[in-house]
Each structure stands twice: as structure tokens, then as C-alpha cells.
Structure 1
Amino acid sequence: MSTINKLSDAERIALQRDCIIEHMRAENAHDWDAVYDTFIRDERSSYDVVPMSTVFSGFKGVQEFYAAFDAAFPDFVLRATSAYDVPGCSIREVTVTGTHRSEFCGIQATGRPVTFELAAFYLFGDGDEAGRLLAERIYFDLETVLRQLRGEANAPTGVGLVDRAH
């Protein structure tokens, strides 16, 4: 049995938190090699975008998601506002900002800024992979994003989690 299998819940959660800190740091730096290093690199990995009913399957799918999102919002920045952890799963509430520079959901680049909040569920491997991502699954209000991209004057930007963060 490996050492990782003998981890306490607190030790496992600490590994998860360290992974997410590195994952989000690398996302904000647009350091894709470092982002990919936080994932288990095989067919079990996925990036799930629930509001679009889309699963980017396998490690290649994870890479495809990031390539598409980075093209659409190349200056995106994430700010975590809350954190919740249990063994095997960590959740972060995040505010995303960026500028629309390429097609997203059928809308061609508008150059408009976007701000939206999302919940990211990070699912981790077991055993020796307890500190690596098996999947990231995100939930957000897609209509909020689309209304901003269409330039609607009253487009919402969320409930202000960044302003309420401690």
C-alpha cells in the first residue's frame, strides 16, 4: 500500500488545496503546461461545462477546453471568493473577468468585457493520485455571459461575490 493511501482526511484535503492553489495560479498566468500538470493525464480526465451540456473527455479534451476558452477570453482572470473541501472534492466560488476576443457560444468576438461568477467542482483521484485533478466541473449562468456579450444595457454581472470576499 502506498503512503498516499494512508493519508488522513485532513492530509488529503491539504493535497487538494495545494493542487487548486497551483491550478488557479497557473490559469491566471495562462501557463498551460503548469495547469495540465495538475490533472491526471489520461482518458479518465475531463472538463465538464454543465451549462453548455458539454464534456471535454480525456486529457486531450481538457486541453481542448482550455485552448477554446483562452482564445475566447485571452486576458481572463479568476478570483476565488470561497472554498469548500471534503476528501475527493473541492469546490471554489470564483469570479471570472475577461475580454471577448474570439467566438464563444456562436457569438463572434465583440471586444466586450465580461464578469461572471461560477462554482467549480474539482474532483480528485484516489491513492497516489489524491493530489491530482480527475475532473473540473463548472456551473455558471450562461445567460449572464451571453447578455454581456450581446451588449445588453441591463446585463447582470452576478451577485458581487468579489466585493463580499473576506
Structure 2
Amino acid sequence: MITITVEERIALQRATIEEHIRQENAKEWEKVYDTFVRDERSFYDVVPMSTHYEGIRGVQDFYEALTVALPDFVITVTGEYDLPGYSWREVTVTGTHRSEFAGITPQNHVVRFEIAALYLFSDDNPGKLIA
């Protein structure tokens, strides 16, 4: 087992999240999925909608639904906070609501919303997301 310092772990987390968001904005889904551990430990929760996506397949399902609903979405980071194993990002998401999402009927209007995203990292591979 390789031991890394707290500072190294946080730097690795920050780099992973930066890559993750860059690939989300580029709509490069395989590269987004590569930021996760690709097994049953992965998940994606959308707390305001009480929705849980289980495993890497669930993560992929979430992004497929999001891409249909907001095909031109853009994520902008507005705040960053990190602890070993956990990172938070305050972000603004903008995009055109083109398809139903979470029971909300599309109006083809540009939407903008703020999110506090919590990223959880693997203990055995601290450069990979669990959630």
C-alpha cells in the first residue's frame, strides 16, 4: 500500500474533480466515467429529488437522463472545499431544458441553478470517485 500525505491526497482529489467537471462540460462520457471506480461501489445521489443511482451503471443512467434533459448544460465552479476523502464544490449549472427530468416538463427555456456537490473518494484509490 502506498502512503501519501494529506496534502498529496487533497491535490489528487482536486485534480480528479477538475478533470471530472472538464469532461462533463465537454460531454465526454467515457472520460467522466473514468473518474469513478468502475464497480458496484459507485453511486450518484440527487438529494433534492430523493433519487439514488446505484453502481457504475447507475452513474451512467444519471448522466444519460441529464444529457437528454439539458443537452447543452455547462457547469461553473464557484467555491471549493476539501478534506481527505471528501471534496465539496459549489457550482452553477446552466442549460436549456429540452426533455422531462425528475417529473418536470420541459419548457425549452434556459435554466440556471446552484448546487452544492459532495464528492466521495475511494480509500484504496484516492484519485477515483465513489460518488
Matched, 1:62 2:59: yes
Aligned length in residues = 131
Report percent identity of matched pairs: 60
Alignment of 1:122-137 (within 5 A): 122-127=119-124, 129-135=125-131
Q: Please give the secondary structure, in 2, of the residue aligned with 1:22.
A: helix
Aligned twin of 2:42: 45
Quote the Cα distance in structure 1 between the aligned partners of 2:102 and 2:126. Answer: 34
Alignment equivalent of 1:79, drawn from 76, 86, 93: 76
TM-score normalised to the size of structure 2?
Answer: 0.97
For 1:7, what is the secondary structure of its paired residue? coil
Partner of 2:92: 95
Letter in 2 for 1:131: G
Residue pairs, 1:15-34, within 5 angstroms: 15-34=12-31
**How many Å apart are 1:115 and its aligned residue?**
0.4
User: What's the Cα RMSD here?
Assistant: 0.7
Separation in structure 1 between the aligned mates of residue 60 and residue 104 of structure 2, nearest angstrom: 22
Identify the structure with the greater helix proportion: 1
Shift in Å, 1:104: 1.4
Structure 2 unpaired stretches of 5+? none
How far the C-alpha of 1:109 sits from its partner, in A, is 2.5
| Counterpart Cα distance in 2 of 1:15 and 1:131 | 6
Unaligned runs of 5+ in 1: 136-166
CA deviation vs aligned residue, 1:123-149 (integer Å, no higher than 9, x gap): 00012x1110001xxxxxxxxxxxxxx
Letter in 2 for 1:53: S
Larger-Rg structure = 1
User: In structure 1, what is the Cα distance between the partners aligned to 2:46 and 2:16?
Assistant: 20
Structure 2 counterpart of 1:35, from 28, 32, 49 = 32
- Alpha-carbon distance between aligned partners in 2 of 1:53 and 1:108, rounded to the nearest angstrom: 18
Aligned partner of 2:115 in structure 1 is 118
